[in-house]
Amino acid sequence: MDSLSLSSFNLTHYSTNTNTLLVKGIYLLFFIISIVSCNYNDNNSPLLPKPKFFEKQRGFLEVKTPKIESWKIIVKHIEQIPEIQKNVEEGYVLQITKEGIQIQAMTPQGVFYAKQTLLQLLDKQDDGTFRLPYCKIIDWPAFPIRGFMHDTGRSYISIQELKKEVALLSRFKINTFHWHLTEDIAWRIESKIFPQLNTPENMLRDKGKYYTQEEIKDFLLFCKAHYVLVIPEIDVPGHSAAFTRTFGVTMQSTKGMEILKKLMNEICALFDTPYTHIGTDEVRFSNEAFVPQMVNFLRKKGKKIISWNPGWQYKKGEIDKLHLWSYRGKTQKGISSIDSRYHYLNHFDTFGDIIALYNSKIGNTSTSTPENEGAILAVWNDRKLKDEKQIILQNNFYPNMLALAERAWTGGGAEYFDKEGTILRSRSSKNYIDFADFERRMLWYKRTVFQGEPFAYTKQTHIEWNITDAFPNNGNLKMQFPPEQQLDTIYSYQNKTYKTHPAYGASVYLRHTWGSLVSGFYKNPQENHTAYAYTWVYADKAQEAGLWVEFQNYSRSEKDLPPLQGTWDYRGSKIWLNDKEIQPPVWQNIHSEKSSEIALQNENLAAREPISVHLKKGWNKVLLKLPIQKFTSQEVRLQKWMFTAIFVDRKTREALENIYYSKDKRKL
């Protein structure tokens, strides 16, 4: 059992403390579950990410045990693999024949990724034996940076949790962890020269929680064992109120720069990593010499520097990488960049945004270029959440990371968030077919590798809707329109014709959080309108079911107020099942003054129980009313004109399998 854990996760003995042993035990359990459950159809391999070249041959190699170290594997480290086109350090060739298993790679990292693919191919038979399909795989990443970021400066996340994420995601060839460690709220790196930085009185949230230097060293070794590059971010000179509270001076002052350089000496010695991220975003520069001096200082320490864009303006040679955020982030000729422009999970919902993420190119190129090296999904914790489980759950972390893992490894993509975006309009479209295939494989890993982890996503590609053209409501959210009297595909209202159009999935953005930057259902959505969406659900027997409903997905970086009791949102949205209005849950938050420090509770569907409903035998009518006034309001800054509705099992929260959705009562 111990050797299985070590071989499958590369958990070498970097630490013998109780926390590390506990984490090892959790990983071992995950791996055993995945092996025991892996009985998949040979024609529908769950490989994720998909390899570049996969030639399956007839026959199987039987192995006596799932312990990979007991298999006969010939590993050849070679100087060149002609078939691999780029990013050769991570590429590999894997062959499985009756003679055994052979891996060719240029680096140990390539061997590591070949073994992750090998473990995904392992198939347990009903008689308890194990086998691997005869095949040849030639594989390499389209992009060299495939990563995730946690904002631990605002919300502390334990080392055990971070280790678990690294171990799990490295199985899907994620190779970068961007660690945002300092913020206005707190400075989370232990300083032995300035210990006052870590005292509770100088923190505003998770007071007194920080990472000791020993924990950081242990974590860095752990990441190296999983071939995950750690990029520490020390945000300067903005987002530094914790620094100012502690020392009574700003970073841009002469005294502040003197202190900061001493801290950077300590940090550079601690982090045995090539890059340091220095932020430089969202700040007014009062000292024009600050950034050039800090870059020069850190480069003399042997560090390569990354900086946000927008942020300080650099010329070629003045910075090593740009990290793009917001729609204003721009690549610059001759400077490599990392894309995070539309990759902030704190604004993502559970079902819609993952579609745009999966179908979009990385940095709007199909493969890496000198100016585009990959992407990082970021979780910003401006708004407090109850605990680290809720951070993972409500940000839909693992499903989105799997979407990025595949897209950044395989490359390609149909657009850059701006064509179909979050919408699946046709089951025959390439976007739909590709996403449905990804969903199938992702959910296989939800049941196996991620069993027991916070993972709200469930199957949604079987759901279909008719959505009307929007009716003008003149700012009156209570106005009623023809769909409330009768469902049809074409409506006449005030001498105008209003049609319906199809969409697929549990969530539909009528207008995205970012407006026209990310495409929603309507190409030109207007304020002061009301839309309707409907579908029919066929049940082969009467049954009690769960219903997940959401009309405003609450961003985890906003101070937005909870809905008023008895309402779904501040827009007057409604849902009827068989002409009976479904009432919203009792909202746990009831505050009326905005605050980032009041934790989100059950505002988001992922954090609450599904509503209990009754489905009758035969066809069940589902109708949603979707009014909007302004796209921003006092209560909710970023109105998401959207809806989510999906029937799930009340206990497992998985999509019901014995029902059928049809927008026109068309039964299979």
pLDDT per residue over 214-246, tens digit each? 999 999 999 999 999 999 999 999 999 999 999
Strand partners, 534: 466, 623
Under 8 Å between Cβ of 309 and 324:
yes
The pair of structure tokens assigned to 361 is 């190119």
Q: Exposed, middle or buried by CB within 10 Å (0-12, 13-18, 19+), for 133?
A: middle
- At 489, give phi and psi (nearest 5°): -100, -20
Q: Choose among 319, 349, 348, 347: nearest CA to 335.
A: 319
Residues 6+ apart with CB under 8 A from 418: 517, 518, 519
Q: How many CA atoms lie within 13 A of 584 on its CB side?
A: 22
What stretch of H or E contains 328?
none
pLDDT score at 18:
43
Can you spell out the DSSP letters for 531-559?
EEEEEEEEESS-EEEEEEEES-PPPTT--
Under 8 Å between Cβ of 481 and 471:
yes
pLDDT score at 122:
94
Q: Give the largest CA-CA distance in the chain.
A: 76
Q: How many CA atoms lie within 13 A of 297 on its CB side?
A: 18
Q: Which stretches does DSSP call E strand in 181-262?
A: 229-236
What stretch of H or E contains 399?
helix 397-410
Strand partners, 491: 498
Under 8 Å between Cβ of 149 and 340:
yes
pLDDT score at 668:
60
pLDDT score at 15:
42
Q: Choose among 513, 591, 515: nearest CA to 559.
A: 591
Residues 6+ apart with CB under 8 A from 160: 19, 20, 22, 23
pLDDT score at 41:
42
What does the radius of gyration of the chain's CA atoms come to, in whole angstroms? 26
Count of positions (residues) in the chain: 668
Q: Give the integer Cα–Cα distance in Å for 320 and 337.
A: 9
Under 8 Å between Cβ of 137 and 194:
no
N-terminal to C-terminal alpha carbon distance within the chain: 47
pLDDT score at 171:
98
In angstroms, what CA-CA distances link 278 with 27, 244, 260, 435?
33, 17, 12, 36
Sign of the alpha-carbon dihedral angle for 130, 133, 139, 141: negative
Low-confidence ranges of the chain (pLDDT < 70): 1-44, 667-668
The pair of structure tokens assigned to 532 is 């309707």
pLDDT tens by residue, 547-567? 999 999 999 999 999 999 999
Q: Give the integer Cα–Cα distance in Å for 575 and 582.
A: 6
pLDDT score at 128:
85
The pair of structure tokens assigned to 653 is 């929260």
pLDDT score at 44:
59
Can you spell out the DSSP letters for 159-182?
HHHHHHHHHHHHTTT--EEEEE-B
Q: Choose among 293, 332, 296: nearest CA to 314.
A: 332
Under 8 Å between Cβ of 498 and 469:
yes
pLDDT score at 36:
41
The pair of structure tokens assigned to 403 is 């979407």
Residue 12: strand, helix, or coil: coil
Q: Exposed, middle or buried by CB within 10 Å (0-12, 13-18, 19+), for 126?
A: exposed
Q: How many CA atoms lie within 13 A of 202 on its CB side?
A: 24
Q: Give the integer Cα–Cα distance in Å for 459 and 627.
A: 27
Q: Choose among 114, 37, 100: nearest CA to 70.
A: 100
Q: Give the integer Cα–Cα distance in Å for 570 and 477.
A: 10
Q: Choose among 78, 103, 76: nearest CA to 92.
A: 103
Do the strands 611-615 and 145-151 form a parallel or antiparallel pair, or are they unpaired?
A: unpaired
pLDDT score at 64:
87
What stretch of H or E contains 643?
strand 641-648
Q: Give the integer Cα–Cα distance in Å for 493 and 229.
A: 59
The pair of structure tokens assigned to 256 is 């502040």
Q: Choose among 459, 468, 465: nearest CA to 438.
A: 459
The pair of structure tokens assigned to 115 is 């073994």
Q: Give the integer Cα–Cα distance in Å for 448 and 66.
A: 15
Token pair 């942020």: residue:
311
pLDDT score at 25:
52
The pair of structure tokens assigned to 188 is 């989370």
Which domains does the chain carry?
2-139 (3.30.379.10), 145-431 (3.20.20.80), 458-662 (2.60.120)
In angstroms, what CA-CA distances link 662 with 463, 465, 544, 604?
7, 7, 20, 26
